[in-house]
Amino acid sequence: MSIFEYNGSALIAMVGKNCFAIASDRRLGVQLQTIATDFQRIYKVHDRLFLGLSGLATDAQTLYQRLGFRHKLYQLREERDMKPETFANLVSAILYEKRFGPYFCQPVIAGLGDEDKPFICTMDSIGAKELAKDFVVAGTASESLYGACESMFKEGMEPEELFETVSQALLSSVDRDCLSGWGGHVYVVTSTEVKERILKGRMD
């Protein structure tokens, strides 16, 4: 078993019309043994920027602490929040810095940029970015997430429709992966509000 699959995870970010959604499962396991059913994989950087970390849970928490520290320094120095593109470059640089002993994480970054344009991207454990205009996925359930998102995604979705699409894609995908699941955690972000919802899924 790969070290990336040790704790199990499912992450998805999808864009809508001037909004985006980011969702994750809630299971923390040690291989096939479930340890917790309310594990946090999505972190708020600021009101318009969210970070999801799949992969090894301990590395994800360490990496988020480093990124939170660097973002606070940026806020103090620049007196503004970081743009999503800038934050993606920061994450990439921090991961590449440790390329010979990497953080075993696959980050998903989602945010609203200038003129409320949604930005999503993911990267591998050494910071090679993959930008997308529709959706990005990560984690042990990524193969089934790709299939569900390909079939369900359509352009210009309003926030409520986007929530429905992301939730259905996540729940149907984690049912096909035994290392992730146990409900879901969804954020839908527009320029004026952040909606957070907890999904109930199969509890096995």
Please report, in tens digits, the pLDDT of each residue of the chain (204 residues total): 899 999 999 999 999 999 999 999 999 999 999 999 999 999 999 999 999 999 999 999 999 999 999 999 999 999 999 999 999 999 999 999 999 999 999 999 999 999 999 999 999 999 999 999 999 999 999 999 999 999 999 999 999 999 999 999 999 999 999 999 999 999 999 999 999 999 999 888
Residue 173 to residues 121, 147, 169, Cα–Cα distance (Å): 20, 8, 6
Indicate the burial class of 65 (C-beta count within 10 angstroms; 0-12, 13-18, 19 or more). Answer: exposed
* Single-letter amino acid, residue 20: F
CA dist., res. 150 & res. 139, Å (int)? 17
Residue 106 to residues 23, 33, 196, Cα–Cα distance (Å): 14, 22, 22
* Phi-psi domain of 116 (left: phi exceeds 0; alpha: psi -120 through 50; beta: other): left
Residue 43: its pLDDT value, please? 97
- Is the dihedral angle over the CA atoms 134, 179, 65, 59 positive or is it negative? negative
CA angle 173–12–169, rounded 5-degree value: 35
The reported pTM is 0.94
CA-based end-to-end distance of the chain: 21
Residue 204: its pLDDT value, please? 80
**Cβ 191 vs Cβ 46: under 8 Å:** no
Residue 174: its pLDDT value, please? 95
**Cβ 184 vs Cβ 12: under 8 Å:** no
